[in-house]
Chains A and B, each alone.
Chain A
Amino acid sequence: MKVIVDMAKCQDHGQCAIAAPEVFEMNEEGRLVYDGEPGEERRLEVEEAADVCPVQAILIKD
């Protein structure tokens, strides 16, 4: 699975890191870092992360 975050939209709210902590993480400066190619077993939580993103910046490409 491919995950793309539109960094122009991303506001570092970190809701994705709450929904899918294995894939999205807020670093020490409070900025988003993420795994762009997580395993298929993470699909449900990544979908949840995309769903809750307040600015809808997360795109899942199959």
Chain B
Amino acid sequence: MTVTAPEAAPYFDITDPDFSITSAAVHEARERSWYARTNYGLAVLRYEEVSRLLKHPKLRQGSAAWPAHNGVTEGPFAKWWASWVLNKEGEEHHRLRRLMNPAFSHKLIAGLVPRFQALAAELINGFREPGRCEFVSEFAEPYAARVIAIMLGMPESEWRVIARESATIGLAMGVTIRQDLPKIEAALAALYAYADELIAERRREERDDFVSALVRAQRDSDRLSADELRDGLVLLIFGGFDTTRNQLGLAMQSFVRHPDQWRLLAERPELGGRAVEEVMRVNPTTRWVTREAHEDFTYQGLDIPAGTTVHLFTESAGTDPRVFGDGAFDITAERKPHFGFGGGAHHCLGHFVARSDMSEALPLLARRMRDPRIEDGAEWLPDSGNTGPIRLPIAFTPAT
């Protein structure tokens, strides 16, 4: 085993606006060392090490302290953040996770596939111009928001509320969280009002749906408090939106770079599932997964003290030549799993629905939007922890 001495490790300032997490500099560093030092702690760059550390018993989920690190220690946002199942550990985490899991079972989601297909077709049919669209506002955003409405049994017509308020709350993931806080808390209040209304409706009239099941669990047992119920629903609304919207935009970016694969997907829609996995391997919206050491430990000769923040770089792992060779983008390839949904106890709760809705959307887009090109005017989030397009104008040859 080669042990890299600490002084030989590469260093990245990952908050520098010019830092790109998918840059050649990161890939070159990966060839020299399995980890880099950063201004937060450590970055893990290779597949095997990311895979092991993602689920390592000495590491816990690392974003619990994010608001506090940025000076946000009290008020409704700090309280809501602390309530997230993602930011809980141990028995409390497991109890909430067990309660939420049934909403996202793959059996339940399989029944929703026709609705995903109809939604994708409706949105494509509704493009304002033939041969051109602004992909984020005309497809990715309404698609992601309406899938959430379908999941929670909310009226799909109200998707703009989900989209608008969730996007505002998303500002909390950025380094400007503190100055954006008044806006973020107003958006949070709007989603709380929404969740309260949903809960009240289900209390009046139960349905055979997930929200009713949670309402029953809250009423009939001590497994879920009233606050946990509304906090959890707001998290589900928020958590599924940004990620799916961004990942769909990134999928378009990848396929514009690989027109032969786009044509193949149009011809073979059954490759939709593989296409989602391949996009998430090389172009994941969640560019890093955060962990924090809860006690001192040594991994591959490297001492990792308690409190160290560890960022697992998902794209760097997904393109690691040790595992993927030259890793050419290929939607027919059998691959080892990517880390775009994180992993371990906090593995993405909504991954079956994200996989299912995107694997329906992409082949339909491929069939209807031939030869896509990204036009001038695209705007992107920084190539950092979470990324994706803000605006993505695409020209294409329309087809039926």
Interface size on B, residues (CB 8 A): 20
A18 touches B57 (CB 8 A): no
Distance of A18 Cα from B94 Cα, bound (Å) = 6
Distance of A52 Cα from B344 Cα, bound (Å) = 12
Distance of A25 Cα from B343 Cα, bound (Å) = 16
Q: Does B178 contact A (CB under 8 A)?
A: no
Distance of A14 Cα from B347 Cα, bound (Å) = 9
Q: Does A48 contact B (CB under 8 A)?
A: yes
Contacts of B97 in A (CB 8 A): 15, 18
Interface of A: prevailing SS? loop
B residues 172-211 near A (Cβ < 8 Å) are: none
Known: A18-B98, A51-B105. A30 touches B55 (CB 8 A): yes
Partner of B345, one of A11, A18, A29: A18
- Shortest C-beta distance, B142 to chain A (Å), equals 27
Known: A14-B345, A29-B57. A48 touches B101 (CB 8 A): yes
Distance of A30 Cα from B55 Cα, bound (Å) = 7
A26 touches B57 (CB 8 A): yes
Known: A29-B57, A48-B101. A54 touches B351 (CB 8 A): yes
How many pairs of residues, A versus B, come closer than 8 Å at their CB atoms? 48
B101 touches A19 (CB 8 A): yes
A19 touches B98 (CB 8 A): yes
Most chain-B CB neighbours within 10 Å: which of A19, A21, A54? A54
B101 touches A52 (CB 8 A): yes
Interface of B: prevailing SS? helix
Name A29's closest neighbour in chain B (CB-CB).
B57
Contacts of B286 in A (CB 8 A): none
Q: Does B106 contact A (CB under 8 A)?
A: yes
Partner of A11, one of B51, B56, B93, B94: B51
B105 touches A13 (CB 8 A): no
Most chain-A CB neighbours within 10 Å: which of B52, B107, B341, B343? B343
B105 touches A15 (CB 8 A): no
Partner of A14, one of B51, B55, B105, B107: B55
Q: Does B337 contact A (CB under 8 A)?
A: yes
Distance of A13 Cα from B351 Cα, bound (Å) = 13
Partner of B56, one of A13, A21, A30, A55: A30
Distance of A11 Cα from B56 Cα, bound (Å) = 12
Name A51's closest neighbour in chain B (CB-CB).
B105
Contacts of A21 in B (CB 8 A): 94
- Please, what's the 1-or-0 string for B316-353, where 1 marks a CB less than 8 Å from any CB in chain A? 00000000000000000000010001011101000100
